[in-house]
Structure 1
Amino acid sequence: MVPQPAVEIAVQDVAGVCIAQAAGADRVELCVALGETGGLTPPIGLVEAAAAIGIPVHALIRTRPGGFTYDAAELDVLVRDVRAVVRTGAAGVVVGALTTCGDVDVDAIAALVAAADGATVTFHRAFDVVANPLVALDQLAELGVTRVLTSGGAARAIDGRVGLKAAAAHAAATRGRVQIMAGGRIRTQHVGALLVTGVDAVHLSARRAAVDPGPAGPGGGTGNYDVTDAAMVRAAVKAARA
């Protein structure tokens, strides 16, 4: 039997985890500052609270915005964060590291996989700027990475279907040693077309803007923030199960 495609929701708080679970998502990627930076490592208290809810929580491990090339001190922090979130109850981690030439940083990823100590490892959208995606897939599989999050090299996953199809076909030809998860500005109406490419999962934030009813000042931002939208999550899950 062919496994049912999974739906992963990127969330930034406990409320988002609860919404994703209630709406039928298979797992969540937990991060903070998603809209502003593309996502950063969540605080350990948030990981602990999220992991207690029950749905598998995969914590993003990214200490700063910007590129994906890290020096020894930065890698040391990434490794420490991986160990910390796994000890706290995260089912997996989401990581990525590249060389200055645009290749997978094999040594860095090996260290991060070892730090995960058997927890699921996802390689994030740093994959979309690698020099040779199919070679990178083989490297990541050999390193013990479970899945790759990719838009197929496009700004939006829906526009990267050729790349997604090629990645999915390559993974299938190597007995599915690594899973392919489509992600990148996905809207719920895109889900069906993306699954046709053969990917194993779809990843979306399903978020909308909210306004804090309390006062906001110069030190607290604008008072606007993102929340997980239950209707969007339900629509994505329905599309994936169709």
Structure 2
Amino acid sequence: MTRLEICIDNLESLFTAQEAGADRIELCSALGLGGLTPSYGFMQQVARHSTIPVYAMIRPRAGDFCFSPAEFDLMLLDVAAARAAGLQGVVVGLLDETGRVPAAELKQLVEAAGPLGVTFHRAIDLSSNWRADLETIVAAGCERILSSGHAPTALAGLETLQAMQQTLAGRASLMPGAGVNADNVRTILEFTGVSEVHMSGMGWRGGMVPHGVNMGTSDDGRVNITDGAKVAAVRALLDQV
């Protein structure tokens, strides 16, 4: 069975993703920024209502993945929050100034997660040496790697994703993500040989009546939500594999 992970950043989307056939949730805040750490309250609420595994994004800010010692300490606290909330896993990623995955810090995050599963996220797509860093990620104990194959989308990164899959050789799962949809998911699966994929299936709905005031440079007042039809379309294709 090919598994389907959906990233969400609000409770409404949890119910939609579950009903549409998601196998796992990546829980975030601010998907418009690539996904940041959800609040502890959000983690607790989702843990109460989810019927499928939930992995919390552990990313303390937007921007690059080179975190300061203080930011790293915050990541450790957020990993502890995910454990306390009763979630099933965490999603982490970090790089040093040279674009390499720091082995000691990653191992510390995995150890802090304890019994929780650990996914290494698309920080690998900014790695300056992904082949060597895959070995670091596997050695640290991560169970999967989310990647678009060093490209803007998984479809554009097919050749690198295939090479990653071959390099991993079953030691960890490769999960293509970024731009995955019903039009390309079969191509991605057939080319790479992976057994799980990641998508947002994002849609939008209007919010309050606009008053001409925005809360930030990227805010237009709309609420991003999971589009159940997009998720269901991919689910149907995966069930045929």
| Global fold match (TM > 0.5) | yes
Instruction: Tell me if structure 2 keeps the 8 A contact 1:137–1:171.
Output: yes
SS of match in other structure, 2:118: strand
1:114 pairs with 2:108: no
Q: Which amino acid aligns with 2:159?
A: V
**Displacement of 1:222:** 3.2
Q: Distance in 2 between matches of 1:69 and 1:136?
A: 15
In the superposition, the TM-score normalised over structure 2's length comes to 0.93
Q: Which amino acid aligns with 1:51?
A: A
Map 1:3-152 → 2, pairs under 5 A: 4-35=1-32, 37-53=33-49, 54-152=51-149
Q: Which amino acid aligns with 1:10?
A: C
**Displacement of 1:216:** 5.0
Instruction: Tell me if structure 2 keeps the 8 A contact 1:150–1:157.
Output: yes
Q: Distance in 2 between matches of 1:215 and 1:139?
A: 48
SS of match in other structure, 2:163: helix
SS of match in other structure, 1:195: helix
**Aligned residues between the structures:** 235
Give the superposed CA RMSD: 1.3
**1:208 match:** 203
Q: Distance in 2 between matches of 1:141 and 1:154?
A: 22
Q: Distance in 1 between matches of 2:47 and 2:211?
A: 30
Identity %: 38
Runs of 4+ in 1 over 6 A off after TM superposition: none
Map 1:188-203 → 2, pairs under 5 A: 188-196=182-190, 197-203=192-198
Q: Which amino acid aligns with 2:205?
A: A
Q: Distance in 2 between matches of 1:125 and 1:139?
A: 15
**2:224 match:** 226
**Displacement of 1:145:** 0.5
**Displacement of 1:30:** 0.7
Q: Distance in 1 between matches of 2:220 and 2:159?
A: 39
**Change in 2 beyond 3 A, CA 1:120/1:216:** farther
Q: Distance in 2 between matches of 1:52 and 1:38?
A: 25
Q: Please, which runs of 5 or more residues in structure 2 have no aligned partner?
A: none
Instruction: Tell me if structure 1 keeps the 8 A contact 2:214–2:221.
Output: no
In the superposition, the TM-score normalised over structure 1's length comes to 0.93
Instruction: Tell me if structure 1 keeps the 8 A contact 2:201–2:230.
Output: yes
**Displacement of 1:180:** 0.1
